[in-house]
Structure 1
Amino acid sequence: MELLFQALYSFFCVVGFSVIFNLPRKLIVIASINGMIGWILYYGLQNSSASFIVPALIGSICVGFIGEILASIQRHPATLYIIPGIIPFVPGYGIYYTMYHIVNQDFQNALTTGAESLFVAISIACGIVLATSIFRLIKPYLNRVKN
């Protein structure tokens, strides 16, 4: 039941950011499903993994790869699917608590939460770059098979 709620929350989170980013209406649902799939993978890995970096990396690879596939099929830029899809992964709570600890002059906890947030952000970026690079490498072979 918790997984269902997480899926719905992530779907509506991506819908909200898609509206804010002024995504075309016909792409909002597709981009939200992409973000939801990535979040389900992230959430499942987060509960089974001791690392906080691996779930964000694998989830963003999933979102990036699905975004590239959708962009290729529908002839739109991949960023229209990828950027809203990674919004649920963004470590907003970590950044908030980093600033909270800095204001309270608890620099040890600020350093810890800031480093975790930075590593998650880097893993999200690396996941997208990996997915895009892998898709660009295999796309010519897919086009040959399709033709």
Structure 2
Amino acid sequence: MSSMPLSLHFVFSFICTIGFSIFLSAPKRSLPYAGLIGAIGWVLYVYLFRVTNNPILSNFIPATIVGVASEVFARYLKQPAIVFVIPGIIPLVPGLGMYNTMLYLVQENYELAASTGATALLVGGAISLGILLVTSFVKTINTIKLKKAISSFNHVITKKDSNYENNIMTEDVSLDNDDDNDENYENEK
């Protein structure tokens, strides 16, 4: 990992993420937010990798943060979360690891190719798992909220239906009373 300052990592990953957002035809309004998400994810990765030297953990945590930030900005900007997730994880994708795997295979260095390829696959899995956990959690919360809303809506409809039936019954009774009054009126004549 280079000794480049984190501020430069932030700037370059911000630009990179915005570039991919444009390439993916993201709405113009979402570009700075997607750039911010990608930059935060990448800077967090660089910091964690410098501290732990563990590429899997260093990708899992930023991917989770990218997922959370994507869901937050999706609600704030009323956009699908995918508009922020895909560009946000682009800096984290282990492209160099996959390239080196192919390079080692071509050079017939199979042991190094297997090691590099396994690490790249585990990193990709960590990124996927981080996004999956956040997305599943948000969908579960939304499903619970939807079920509560439907339940309360059904409760309101049931109350209205019972009130409607009660009103019909009282109207029928009052109509019957009107008939009795009509008979009494005719008898009085």
TM-score strictly above 0.5: yes
Q: Which residue of 2 aligns with 1:116?
A: 119
- Aligned-partner SS, 1:113: helix
**What value does the CA root-mean-square deviation take over the aligned residues?**
1.6
- The match for 1:28 is 31
* Secondary structure of the corresponding residue to residue 53 of structure 1: helix
Number of the residue aligned with 2:89: 86
Which of the pair has more CA radius of gyration?
2
Aligned: 1:17 with 2:25: no
Within the alignment, does 1:98 sit opposite 2:101 as a pair? yes
**How many residues of Structure 1 are paired with residues of Structure 2 in the alignment?**
142
Would you say 1:47 and 2:27 are equivalent positions?
Answer: no
Q: Deviation per CA, 1:18-37, whole angstroms, max 9, x where unpaired?
A: 11111111111110101111
**Alignment partners' CA distance in 2, 1:132 and 1:41:** 20
TM-score (norm 2): 0.71
TM-score of the pair, normalised by structure 1: 0.90
> Could you give the per-residue CA deviations for residues 113-143 of structure 1, whole angstroms, max 9, x where no partner exists?
10010000000000000111233344567xx
**Code of the aligned partner of 1:59:** P
TM-superposed deviation, 1:50: 3.0
Distance in 2, Cα, partners of 1:11 & 1:74: 19
Unaligned runs of 5+ residues in structure 2 are 149-189
Residue 179 of structure 2: aligned partner: none
Matched residue type, 2:120: S
TM superposition outliers: structure 1 runs of 4+ over 3 Å: 136-141
What residue is the counterpart of 2:151 in the other structure?
Answer: none
**Rounded Cα–Cα distance in structure 1 between residues aligned with 2:103 and 2:53:** 25
- Identity across the alignment (%): 37
